[in-house]
């Protein structure tokens, strides 16, 4: 009976993840990220329940009354099962740290968007969604065997036109302006608590670079994507570019003042910094010089360049 229920949960889980990927790859559907997140969380929840069922771990909420378990139930009498976050936090969870962080990130995003209208967050968190799908198949196979793999359903979306570096920069700036503040704040706070290695983990955020390839032999003409060994020099360069492009470095005012002093501008102080940003209306979001997170303003690298130029001109 237990194995039968586990298999039923597993099939529901796989169906939900395939649906999530199909939804995200459908060009006619809006709110791709939102729908992918909700559906994939359902999928992962079923997967974890199937795993715990298989291992004989009770994933129902209960409280002890003496030596007896008293199970929590809905008003209609159904058992209350662990939500995904509870499944992840269980000490018997089979998930690695990168996969767990990825799911906690998506759960947090879901909390921010489920009751609010959002626009254009697909490109902003796309690497996390890709990691979620790949993590799913990897853990599915590890938990239940290769015969259950849904790898063939995790296809890449087709890009119809190339994007230049200038276009990429413009698009990213536009996307970042349109990201709801609550989503932006959650991402900044969540990732500020992760270690550098956790941020770089491909299980947390799977980043892909498309490179136009010049070929010398006819049999290479159909090669559209180049896969690079993780330990090669090329991979190191790609990782560097991706990390810088995806997450903007943020600075507190005091950090900028100390940075300028370290660069030799010993007379520059917080007073001059405050005067500068007020004179340039630096906190106006149209300039994209920084962002407000939980009542604290952080400055981007673009503002640091403005400060540096100011210090040079005034010979601090």
pLDDT-based confidence at 59, cuts 50/70/90?
very high
Please give the pLDDT value at position 211.
47
Task: Give 246's pLDDT tier (boundaries 50, 70, 90).
Answer: very low
- Over 50: is that where the pLDDT of 118 sits? yes
Number of H helices, E strands in the chain: 12, 4
Structural domain spans, the chain: 2-197, 209-246, 253-314
Q: What is the pLDDT of residue 239?
A: 47
Measure the CA–CA gap between 51 and 48, rounded to whole angstroms: 5
Q: What is the pLDDT of residues 256-312, one digit of tens each?
A: 999 999 999 999 999 999 999 999 999 988 888 988 877 789 999 899 999 999 999
Here the tokens at position 146 are: 């290769």
Query: Which pLDDT score is estimated for 126?
Result: 82
Q: Which helix (H) or strand (E) holds 258?
A: helix 253-262
Residue 73 has pLDDT above 80, yes or no: yes
- Which pLDDT tens digit goes with each residue over 30-57? 788 888 999 999 999 999 999 999 999 9
Amino acid 240: pLDDT: 45
Q: What is the DSSP pairing of strand 296-299 with strand 290-293?
A: antiparallel
CA count, 13 A, side-chain hemisphere, 256: 30
- CB of 92 within 8 A of CB of 52? yes
266-279 burial, b for 16+ CB within 10 Å, e for fewer?
eebeeebbeebbee
Neighbours of 139 (CB within 10 A): 19
Q: How far is CA 6 from the centre of its chain?
A: 29
pLDDT for residue 154 is more than 80: no
91/76 Cα distance (integer angstroms): 30
């Amino acid at each position: 009976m237990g194995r039968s229920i586990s298999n039923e949960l597993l099939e529901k889980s796989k169906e939900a993840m395939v649906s999530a990927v199909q939804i995200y790859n459908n060009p006619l559907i809006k709110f791709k990220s939102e729908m992918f997140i909700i559906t994939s969380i359902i999928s992962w929840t079923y997967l974890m329940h199937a795993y715990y069922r298989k291992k004989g771990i009770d994933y129902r909420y209960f409280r002890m009354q003496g030596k007896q378990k008293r199970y929590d139930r809905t008003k209609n009498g159904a058992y209350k099962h662990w939500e995904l976050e509870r499944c992840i936090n269980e000490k018997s969870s089979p998930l690695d740290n990168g996969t767990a962080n990825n799911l906690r990130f998506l759960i947090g995003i879901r909390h921010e968007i489920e009751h609010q209208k959002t626009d254009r967050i697909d490109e902003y968190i796309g690497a996390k969604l890709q990691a979620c799908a790949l993590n799913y198949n990897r853990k599915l196979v590890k938990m239940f065997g290769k015969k259950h793999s849904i790898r063939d359903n995790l296809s890449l979306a087709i890009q119809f036109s190339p994007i230049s570096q200038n276009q990429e920069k413009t698009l990213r700036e536009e996307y970042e302006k349109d990201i709801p503040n609550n989503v932006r704040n959650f991402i900044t706070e969540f990732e500020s608590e992760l270690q550098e290695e956790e941020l770089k983990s491909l299980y947390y955020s799977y980043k892909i670079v498309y490179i136009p390839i010049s070929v010398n032999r006819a049999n290479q003409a159909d090669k559209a994507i180049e896969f690079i060994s993780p330990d090669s020099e090329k991979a190191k360069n790609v990782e560097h570019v991706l990390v810088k492009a995806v997450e903007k470095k943020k600075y507190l005012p005091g950090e900028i003042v100390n940075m300028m002093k370290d660069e030799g501008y010993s007379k520059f102080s917080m007073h001059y910094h405050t005067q500068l940003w007020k004179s340039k209306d630096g906190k106006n979001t149209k300039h994209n010089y920084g962002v407000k997170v939980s009542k604290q303003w952080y400055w981007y690298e673009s503002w640091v360049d403005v400060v540096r130029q100011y210090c040079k001109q005034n010979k601090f």
